[in-house]
Structure 1
Amino acid sequence: MSLTHIDGLPAHVLFVHFILVMVPLTALAAVVCAVQPRFARRIGLVLPIMGLVTLGMVPVTTHAGEWLESRVGNDPLIHKHTELGDGLLPWAFGLFVATLAVWWLGRRFGHSAQAGPDEQATAEGTSPVAARRAAPGIVRAVVLALAVVVSVGAVVDVYRIGESGAKAAWHDNYDKSASAHHD
């Protein structure tokens, strides 16, 4: 096994499935946790770890893709796919930053779900500890906007890259006129 081929198959063909699952999954988790910080507290470090692993797999996948590109001939569809694939790294980095920000916000400013017996409620119905730990609205808004924008951008980019890769792989590799056989 190497970073270019696994058990006789081009590694890119296998790694790309990891990206196709992890980018949308990480994006969804980032947005959900930004909307509901209690989820960020529940999953803890798993959120930024998802972002980091996804970020780490992007260059591994693109490296394997470039290795494969050099072995499949000169095809404009493959060249377009490779160019699009090179643009995913900034989105993956942004997604990692967003997961860190959401995790930090949930950890640093999360509302206290349960007030201790020695904490008396304020006029607003929150304990002094919970009031002190509430994130300023602008901070929550910025982190939410970051999570949404980066998540949407990353998922759209993965879709565009995947579509171009499917077109490159399948445009001349099957018989469009063959009749369906049912056995």
Structure 2
Amino acid sequence: MTTIFGLPAHALLVHGLVVLAPLTAGLQILCALWPAARRRFVWLVLAFSVAIVVMSPLAVSAGEWLYGREEEHSPILETHEERGEWMIYFAVGLLVVSVVLAVQHWLETRKPRKRTLLNVAVVVLAVVVGVSSMVGVVRIGHSGTEAKWGVIADG
């Protein structure tokens, strides 16, 4: 997939990922910390994670198509291309956390009892994967923005 209605698919898919991945990571952390949020959002978070796993390789593929259209590449574009390959790992990490949250939710509905060790492990996993995914998406996106638009703001 290289274009959607004449627009580069990469730009459209990336905008979806830039919104969906941090939103999903934040919701995962919320669901891990707060059982009431988990009961309400666990299936939405799982659906978002599946969408991210599907969209990530499509965005990378569309980006590689754009990259291949030019013969010479700036160092920042090469950095962006390298970092873009990270996204599938973040996507899979988010999916794993979503599945763990869904299993935790299922266990709570079957036999409601305290599972302190499981709860702590899920919180740690959600925070580590969520924060690293957010940082990764920002780093990937920042290098892409800089490659396309240059440095926009000093500071």
Q: Would you call these one fold, judging by a TM-score over 0.5?
A: yes
Per-residue deviation at 1:49? 1.1
Q: Which residue of structure 1 aligns with residue 80 of structure 2?
A: 81
Q: Which amino acid aligns with 2:89?
A: P
Question: Do the aligned partners of 1:30 and 1:151 also contact (CA within 8 Å) in 2?
Answer: yes
Q: Which residue of structure 1 aligns with residue 53 of structure 2?
A: 55
- The superposition leaves residues 70-117 of structure 1 with CA deviations (integer Å, 9 ceiling, x where unpaired) of 01332122111010010111111011110111122123125xxxxxxx
Q: Which residue of structure 2 aligns with residue 101 of structure 1?
A: 100
Alignment partners' CA distance in 2, 1:171 and 1:144:
38
Q: Which residue of structure 1 aligns with residue 36 of structure 2?
A: 38
Question: Do the aligned partners of 2:22 and 2:134 also contact (CA within 8 Å) in 1?
Answer: yes
TM-score, with length taken from structure 2: 0.90
Query: Comparing both structures, which one devotes a greater share of its residues to helix?
Result: 2
Q: Which residue of structure 1 aligns with residue 142 of structure 2?
A: 163
Alignment partners' CA distance in 1, 2:4 and 2:115:
49
Q: Which residue of structure 1 aligns with residue 91 of structure 2?
A: 92
Question: Do the aligned partners of 1:4 and 1:64 also contact (CA within 8 Å) in 2?
Answer: yes
| Identity, % of aligned positions | 34
Question: Do the aligned partners of 2:42 and 2:101 also contact (CA within 8 Å) in 1?
Answer: no
Any gaps of 5 or more consecutive residues in structure 1? 111-128, 175-183
Per-residue deviation at 1:56? 1.1
Q: Which amino acid aligns with 1:82?
A: E
Per-residue deviation at 1:62? 0.5
Per-residue deviation at 1:9? 1.8
Q: Rg: which structure is higher?
A: 1
Q: Considering Cα pairs closer than 8 Å and 6+ residues apart, tell me whether 1 or 2 has the greater RCO.
A: 2
Alignment partners' CA distance in 1, 2:78 and 2:28:
32
Runs of 4+ in 1 over 2 A off after TM superposition: none
Alignment partners' CA distance in 1, 2:87 and 2:130:
12
Alignment partners' CA distance in 2, 1:31 and 1:12:
28
TM-score, with length taken from structure 1: 0.77
- Tell me the C-alpha RMSD between the 2 structures: 1.8
Any gaps of 5 or more consecutive residues in structure 2? none
1:22 to 8, 14, 20: 20
- The superposition leaves residues 114-166 of structure 1 with CA deviations (integer Å, 9 ceiling, x where unpaired) of xxxxxxxxxxxxxxx9xx52242110011111111000011100000011001
- The SS at the match of 2:71 is coil
